[in-house]
Amino acid sequence: MLKNSKPVTESLLKQAHHNMPMGVADNYRYWGEENTVFVKSSQGCTITDADDQEFIDFRLAYGPIILGYRDSRVDKEVVTVITERGTISGFSTDLDSQVVELIKQMCPNIEKMRFANSGTEAVIGAVRTARGFTGRNKIVVVEGGFHGLYDEMMWKSDVDNWDTDTEIAPKITAFGGGIPPATREHLETVPLNDFTAIDEVFARVGDDIAAIVIEPILGNCGSIASSQEYMQKLRDICDANGTLLIMDEVKTGFRVAKGGAQELYGIYADLTTYAKAMGNGYPVAAFGGRADVMDVIGFGNNGVTHGGTYTANMIALSAAKATLTILNETDAYDTINKVGADIQHLLSRVFTKHGIEHQFAGPDAMFGIHFGHQIPNNYRDWKKTDSDLYTQFAHNLIESGIMLEPDSREPWFICESHQHIDLIQLENIADAAMKKAIAERK
């Protein structure tokens, strides 16, 4: 996949194997002994690996980079707060409310918030708050959604190993070892855009459903999107049942629009989680929503506990304030969406030239590519796409200096800095990559 000669990378991986499981700090950074990437530097929309190969990056660290790596406007504010105020104190600062008030300007679904350090933490906080508010236990999630790496949310529909000829539905399995079976007790899983499945689960256990948790656009499943009707169905059934609607906008928040996916749908959640693009790469997250729901957070026997030593640290909040101010006050979204649309057009020309049926899913800022004759309606439909061809195409792109995740379940992420790339060059590289992929499968 990568260039054959990678002496520095090979040395770094060998050293890392002595220090970390799999030789990496995160399971998903291990791409095998030949292809694991070590980054030396990043700037704009490019990364340079340890052996000085430069890549145009459409992975963008799984989506946090919305403006570009090392954006000077954001970094300047972070350096200023470090040098003039410090990084952390364990107390409150004026930045807390400044960032929340900025988010409230952009997101009408937010009345009160709390901060976190990652998307996983934000989801934990939102789910616990929903349970505290409703006094109920069960959570409904949608197949193909990703809500963090904590035990309860690591029970997944095993679509990869699903036998579509003999099994009605994919099995629900633990996403790895070390996950106690008891953590599945209060989790219900339904397919996306399936009205019957939602009705069935509410008829069966509706009196104990605290919340539905959904990514309106599946950021770990090729940006397959909820239909407008389905989102309205969820809103209506939650209202009728006293259940909370939690929209996980860790990936879509501040990326697809100022108000996230909720702005696109015009349907609003009771609680929302944010992270990723919120800080242009700095580790910051949050959850919030209705004031009456959030106000269950507090002390006492019935109060919901939330906290964290590094929560609302000044590095994170200064980055969030700078990033969100830029997104709120400039035409960054117009630039990002235009580049995303232009890239889809050129890729479509390439696929059409080679006779490949293809569909794009999701918004221009994080679009998915699916090889097949129709846009998947849910995760099970993804199984019907030609994901093997996509993976080979992606490997060929990476060899030629275009970085992306070689799995069609990961979208192409676009940042403001992508406006500077050479689209003609990208089209030529994509053309050669697809030609090679087709030849390699014969």
Q: What is the pLDDT of residue 300?
A: 83
Q: Cα–chain-centroid distance for residue 224?
A: 12
Q: What is the pLDDT of residue 357?
A: 98
> How is residue 72 written in tokens?
């000077």
Q: What is the pLDDT of residue 442?
A: 74
- pLDDT (mean) for 13-30: 97
Q: Which domains does the chain have, with CATH numbers?
A: 7-69+331-440 (3.90.1150.10), 72-329 (3.40.640.10)
Split at pLDDT 50, 70, 90, the class of 166 is confident
pLDDT tens digit sequence for 171-227: 999 999 999 999 999 999 999 999 999 999 999 999 999 999 999 999 999 999 999
Residue 167 above 70 pLDDT? yes
Residue 78 above 90 pLDDT? yes
Q: What is the pLDDT of residue 4?
A: 66
- pLDDT (mean) for 75-94: 97
Q: What is the pLDDT of residue 165?
A: 85
pLDDT tens digit sequence for 312-338: 999 999 999 999 999 999 999 999 999
Q: What is the pLDDT of residue 279?
A: 98
Q: Mind giving me the DSSP string for 167-195? A: -SSPPEEESSSS--GGGGTTEEEE-TT-H
Split at pLDDT 50, 70, 90, the class of 3 is low
Q: Render the burial of 227-257: b for 16+ CB within 10 Å, e for the rest.
A: eeebbebbbebbeeeebbbbbbbbbbbbbbb
pLDDT tens digit sequence for 414-440: 999 999 999 999 999 999 999 999 999
pTM score:
0.96
Token pair 């929340």 in the structure block, residue:
100
How many other CB atoms sit within 10 Å of the CB of residue 305? 10
- pLDDT (mean) for 238-256: 98
* pLDDT > 90: percent of the chain: 97
Split at pLDDT 50, 70, 90, the class of 342 is very high
